Amino acid sequence: MAEAVNAEAPIFIVGTGRSGTSLLRNILNRHPRIAISEETHFVYYVYARRRAFGDLENPENRRRVADEYVRLQHLRVISDPGALRERLLRGAASYRELFTSLAANYAESQGKPRWGEKTPHHALFAGTLCEWYPRATIIHIVRDPRDVAASQQRMPWGSHSVVRNAMIWRRVNLAARRCADRPQYMSIRYETLVREPEPTVAGICERLGEEYFPSMLVATKTSSLRPPPPWLARAEEAITAERLEKWREELTAEEASQIEWAVGEHLESFGYRRAAEPASIQAIVRGLAHAAWDAAHQRFRQFPAAWYRLVRPTKLAEEEYWTYRSRARDFQP
């Protein structure tokens, strides 16, 4: 396939956090023609606030978006802020063009012709991505919700409620799967990827119209402006199936039953089997109460961030700082 054609066919990786999106990104980035950027959070920080920022055909609005967006620490691990700002000012007269410029700038910095982007929760935005990029490939990676919920509990940004984590899993994966009838959509399972990496990655490459290289499965350090945080370091290591069904060791029987209750029939529809006894009424009540407490606690801790989003929605770096202030050393506005 010609280089120019593939350059116009972006690749998006979506799914729930802790589902293997970073692992898949690292694998595809070992391809000599593909560069998939780290998480841009474009929808949350920019597209969802398009009314506040205004029409990007107006140069002043475009400048305001560029100035605010490049201040995000999330963006600083992707590209040099000054170079990115200039790129956005030159070629971002619409929100689609802004997103394209953002991800394409990363690919160009890596010397590769084909660009992509990996923000897991852009699964909620998958329909718009399909409309914006008719020739794109959206790779939806799915992992057992019990493993996802158990893993998210250990994350500094995750919920301590397995019920909340299970509900997020359900919402994100159902949103992505609504695009299953579109030609851009491709679904893989994390379990298949780590058990059968070579045929799985070769199949992805075939779908992308790219040659498969065995070196894509060889662990290498990613190219980044700073080392990855601890919870992403494992994605740079060799592919292994040792983390499969770790939930059996990390969750109580009640937590497993709560997750299966929260996910409901969608557990089987995504190819996973029930393993716990049905949750009792008492277990469901306890799970919902913990979820409500955890949500309230998180909102209380992030109250300044919510204030910025509601009152000063274009002050992105300030909101980011207050959202992640528990890791304030990594997020300085």
- Residue 188: pLDDT band with limits 50, 70, 90: very high
- Residue 2: pLDDT band with limits 50, 70, 90: very low
Residue 304 in this model has a pLDDT that exceeds 80: yes
Whether 133 contacts 10, CB under 8 Å: yes
Q: Of 137-146, 147-156, 269-278, which range is least confident?
A: 147-156
pTM of the model: 0.91
More confident residue, 316 or 74: 316
Other Cβ atoms less than 10 A from the Cβ of 300: the count is: 9
Q: Of 111-115, 257-261, 322-326, which range is least confident?
A: 322-326
Whether 224 contacts 74, CB under 8 Å: no
pLDDT in tens, 162-187: 999 999 999 999 999 999 999 999 99
Please report the pLDDT score of residue 3 as a whole number. 39
Instruction: Give the sign of the dihedral formed by CA 161, CA 163, CA 167, CA 170.
Output: positive
pLDDT in tens, 205-254: 999 999 999 999 998 876 555 566 655 666 667 788 988 999 999 999 99
The alpha helices in the chain, defined as continuous H runs, are 3-7, 21-29, 42-45, 50-53, 59-69, 73-76, 81-91, 95-109, 126-132, 145-153, 162-177, 190-195, 197-208, 230-233, 247-250, 253-263, 266-269, 281-301, 303-311, 316-323
Please report the pLDDT score of residue 261 as a whole number. 98
Domains in the chain: ranges and CATH = 3-244 (3.40.50.300)
Distance of CA 264 to the CA centre of its chain: 23
Q: What is the 3-state secondary structure (H, E, C) of 92-145?
A: CCCHHHHHHHHHHHHHHHCCCCEEEEECHHHHHHHHHHHHHCCCCEEEEEECCH
Please report the pLDDT score of residue 4 as a whole number. 39
- Residue 91: pLDDT band with limits 50, 70, 90: confident
- Residue 332: pLDDT band with limits 50, 70, 90: very low
Distance of CA 243 to the CA centre of its chain: 20
The gap between the terminal CA atoms of the chain, to the nearest Å, is: 43
